[in-house]
Amino acid sequence: MMGNEELKVKGIVEECAIKAKAAARQLAVTSEAAKNQGLIEIAQALELKSQEIIEANREDMEQAKSQGISGALLDRLLLTPERIKAMAQGVREVAALPDPIGEVSDLKIRPSGIRVGKMRVPLGVIAMVYEARPNVTVDAAALCLKAGNAVLLRGGSEAYQSNRKLAELISQALRVAGLPHEAVQLIPTTDRRSITALGALDQYIDVLIARGGEGLMQALAGATVPLFRHGKGICHTYIDVDADLTKAVDIVFNAKVSRPGVCNALETLLVHREVAARVVPAICQRLQEAGVELVGTPEVQALAPNVGVASTEDWGTEYLGLKLAIKVVSNLDEAIEHIHRYGSLHSEAIITENYSSARRFLETVDAAAVFVNASTRFNDGSEFGLGAEIGISTQKLHARGPMGIRELTTTKFIVLGSGEVR
């Protein structure tokens, strides 16, 4: 039986969902030009109110620092004038993308005389639970609007003030553009029971995008709303016996250091035994100079100083910070086996000049994105040409990998006749 507080949270969430459902019906028949105008208004609001956003973000940053949150996670939370400008540019890029809604495909004449095809339509109401990254609030709003969906946003509690300000500006921009302002709503509570409540509102919410780790997935274990899972990123890079070792050092460094607090950052490095002595010392030195803590197997410890002992838990850990686990393996098969045992189906890479090894890795490794001679940091909607992304799906149904506009739509059959009966 629910207590008073739980009922209160459920009521707050349900009220938002009811409004979103009504807004979604309006958006589904809104023209491309009108949606684009709404996006342009959002981009302009972000730029004009940049200082207000930074002030709200400063509150979150001060609170996060007082709680001892790590530097990499603080970086995810931080908003700067440059980052806000990039967010606005991202919204404009979404506006410039082709609108898939109403697109008709596979139209065929059947023997009965009817014509049967598929029309692309919005999903409807999307709920999203995500980590403390305020830029995701804007990306999600832009993509959902372009695809004709309403969205309910439940961001990480550490970013609440930033998200509240961003959602307020987006709502105002939608009003200016003549669009339903309740098409984008921030759930106005950080109570974790709001997550469970969202997962139970299948009469209003069509799909829930869950970005987070095991704790989030447990909170949604009983969800009746269909889920898109953006799971943790335990990403591997394997340096093959036929690798270009100069490329390998640069790729590994970028994958680990460029932005360690994101899901496509490298967490485990696998190195073929025959090249380990030639590449492990250089990689370890460069990473350590950048402040990366290293743990590894005994072979790795013998090749480089100041490398800690890697435990079994390290192989299954998403550090989201400046720490890396390193293992020497005998061959490609052992690397693939390690990835299948400990990977999270997110991003996996091989560095090799051997075509057969590359092809085998691509065909065998099970992940949302598999790379040859490139950093896992490229697993990103913008880098893949999708504009922004709402998440990286690590499951296999409906969408897999970076989710852009088309992944936020579905299709329905349309049937055109001229009096045919069966």
Q: Residue 235: phi, psi to the nearest 5?
A: -100, 140
Q: What is the pLDDT of residue 285?
A: 97
Other beta carbons within 10 Å of 121: 18
Closest CA to 78 of 94, 96, 62, 98: 62
Q: Residue 324: phi, psi to the nearest 5?
A: -140, 140
Task: Find out whether 235 and 346 touch, Cβ atoms under 8 Å.
Answer: yes
Residue 198 clears pLDDT 80, i.e. is over it: yes
- Residue spans per domain, the chain: 4-231+394-416, 235-378
Mean pLDDT of the chain: 94
Residue 1 clears pLDDT 70, i.e. is over it: no
278-310 pLDDT, tens digit each: 999 999 999 999 999 999 999 999 999 999 999
Task: Find out whether 292 and 324 touch, Cβ atoms under 8 Å.
Answer: yes
Q: What is the pLDDT of residue 247?
A: 97
- Give how far Cα 243 sits from Cα of 296, 297, 350, 378, Å: 20, 21, 9, 19
Model pTM?
A: 0.87
- Comparing 8-22, 49-63, 163-177, 224-238, the range with the smallest average pLDDT is 224-238
307-341 pLDDT, tens digit each: 999 999 999 999 989 999 999 999 999 999 999 99
Q: Does CATH place domain 4-231+394-416 in 2.30.130.10?
A: no
Q: What is the pLDDT of residue 69?
A: 87
Residue 343 clears pLDDT 70, i.e. is over it: yes
Do the two domains 4-231+394-416 and 235-378 of this chain adopt the same fold? no
Q: Residue 22 corresponds to which tokens in the numbers above?
A: 């009504």
Task: Find out whether 264 and 343 touch, Cβ atoms under 8 Å.
Answer: no
Distance CA 305, CA 329 (A): 19
Average pLDDT, stretch 363-391? 91
Q: What confidence category does residue 2 fall into, taking pLDDT thresholds of 50, 70 and 90?
A: low
Distance CA 14, CA 49 (A): 30
Higher pLDDT, 169 or 1: 169
Q: Does CATH place domain 235-378 in 3.40.50.360?
A: no
Q: What letter represents residue 29's amino acid?
A: V
Q: What confidence category does residue 6 fall into, taking pLDDT thresholds of 50, 70 and 90?
A: confident
Per-position DSSP letters for 63-118, written without gaps between them: HHHHTT--HHHHHHH---HHHHHHHHHHHHHHHHSPP-TT-EEEEEE-TTS-EEEE
Q: What confidence category does residue 381 fall into, taking pLDDT thresholds of 50, 70 and 90?
A: confident
